[in-house]
Amino acid sequence: MNATATEPTTPPREQDEIRVAHRSHPAWWLVVAFVALCVAGIVKMLFTNPNLQWDVVGEYFFTQRILKGLLVTLELTVLAMVSGILLGVLTAVMRLSPIKILSSTAWAYTWFFRGTPLLVQIIFWYNLAALFPKIEIGIPLLGPTLWSGDSNAVITPFVAALLGLALNEGAYMSEIVRGGIVSVDQGQHEAAVALGMRSRRVMRRIVLPQAMRVIVPPTGNQVIGMLKSTALVSVTSTSELLYTSQQIYNQTFQTIPLLIVASIWYLIVTSVLSVIQYYIERHYARGGRRELPLTPWQRVRRSVGSLQGRLQAVGEGSKR
């Protein structure tokens, strides 16, 4: 560096490629050192703290009970999320409808389910039998009962959990979908209508596909949030991942290692979900930018390619 500074400043020749040198920031090294120390401390703790009982973690990681719990967690996530998204799209479209009764019904739904804690809702559904010992389906106050059943038989812990998660999720998705729909330029609607499309087609073919670019990123967050919210369901003794771990450590008192087992599984699944989210976002970016962002694999190939190029250049240089 000193050498370049003392050299007489000659303007670069025109055919020379301009190289941009990054300025050095000495303070950054302090930050790097601090972070490195913290990481080292954590790693040392992970290896040396005997209370972590890694052997127990390894022992339980792939046991059938844990895997079964994981499966229930995934089932709950998928089912609650799918019904949440459907509910969300439905209520968002209702909310934007010019028909007052539809929009206010949708508003009330969102208001109620977003305004009460999810945990309370789950416990509430779980204890529904205390409120309605029998469930009857028919026209309220008037008509004949079309179907009836015993609450305790219908609302199993799994159904209670699913109801709680899905209804709550629907309220959040409703707001996300509404935001997406509103973000699409009004001109798109006008152009579609002027081409003779009816509003359902306009929504399905023109507005929703464009709204997806706004809807997908927060929905990805919601899926990841949902995966973790399923842990709340452990209060209804649904044997999902956390409740299964709890059941095991209540017998063996190996609390920490089993919580680690559950946490690692949650981490693995959320990581996989993040990757899927990346590709879905990329899909809906079509037409949004002039060029699509590279996939991670394309990025690796490109950087390997440029590294090869540089190595070759260095090799040729040294031959001379």
Partner 1 sequence: MTTVAKEENTQQGEVVLRATGIRKRFGALEVLCGVDLTVLRGEVMCIIGPSGSGKSTLLRSLNHLEEIDGGRVELDGELVGYRQRGHKYVTLPEKDLAKQRARIGMVFQSFNLFPHMTVLQNIVESPVGVLKVPASEARATAMQLLERVGLDSKADCYPRQLSGGQQQRVAIARALAMKPRLMLFDEPTSALDPELVGEVLDVMKDLARDGLTMVVVTHEMGFAKEVADSVLFMDGGVVVERGHPQDVLVNPQMPRTQDFLSKVL
Residues of this chain that bind partner 1 (CB under 8 A) = 185, 187-188, 190-199, 201, 205-206, 209-210, 284, 286-290
- The amino acid present at 251, given as its one-letter code, is Q
Q: Shortest gap between Cβ of 211 and partner 1 (angstroms)?
A: 10
Q: Nearest 5°: CA angle at 187, between 183 and 190?
A: 120
Question: CA-CA distance, 60 to 122, in Å (whole number)?
Answer: 29
Q: Shortest gap between Cβ of 199 and partner 1 (angstroms)?
A: 6
Question: CA-CA distance, 295 to 292, in Å (whole number)?
Answer: 9
Q: Shortest gap between Cβ of 217 and partner 1 (angstroms)?
A: 16
Judged by beta carbon, residue 98 or residue 143, the one nearer partner 1 is: 98
For residue 167, CA distances in Å to 10, 49, 82, 120, 123 come to 70, 43, 11, 13, 13
Q: Which of 240, 208, 239, 212 is nearest to 226 (CA)?
A: 240
Judged by beta carbon, residue 45 or residue 191, the one nearer partner 1 is: 191
Judged by beta carbon, residue 188 or residue 250, the one nearer partner 1 is: 188
Q: Shortest gap between Cβ of 204 and partner 1 (angstroms)?
A: 10
Question: CA-CA distance, 238 to 69, in Å (whole number)?
Answer: 9
Q: Length of the chain in residues, anyone? A: 320
Pull the structure tokens for residue 134: 């029998």
- The amino acid present at 178, given as its one-letter code, is R
Judged by beta carbon, residue 134 or residue 286, the one nearer partner 1 is: 286
Q: Shortest gap between Cβ of 100 and partner 1 (angstroms)?
A: 17
Judged by beta carbon, residue 198 or residue 319, the one nearer partner 1 is: 198
Q: Which residues contact 311 (CB under 8 A, 6 or more apart)?
A: none
Q: Which of 123, 115, 116, 117 is nearest to 155 (CA)?
A: 123
Judged by beta carbon, residue 19 or residue 198, the one nearer partner 1 is: 198
Q: Shortest gap between Cβ of 277 and partner 1 (angstroms)?
A: 19
Rounded to 5 degrees, φ, ψ at 19 are -100, 130
Question: CA-CA distance, 176 to 216, in Å (whole number)?
Answer: 9
Judged by beta carbon, residue 107 or residue 284, the one nearer partner 1 is: 284
Task: State whether the Cα torsion 93-99-102-105 is positive or negative.
Answer: positive
Judged by beta carbon, residue 213 or residue 249, the one nearer partner 1 is: 213
**C-beta neighbour count of 76 within 10 angstroms:** 24
Task: State whether the Cα torsion 155-157-159-163 is positive or negative.
Answer: positive
Q: Shortest gap between Cβ of 46 and partner 1 (angstroms)?
A: 47
Q: Shortest gap between Cβ of 210 and partner 1 (angstroms)?
A: 6
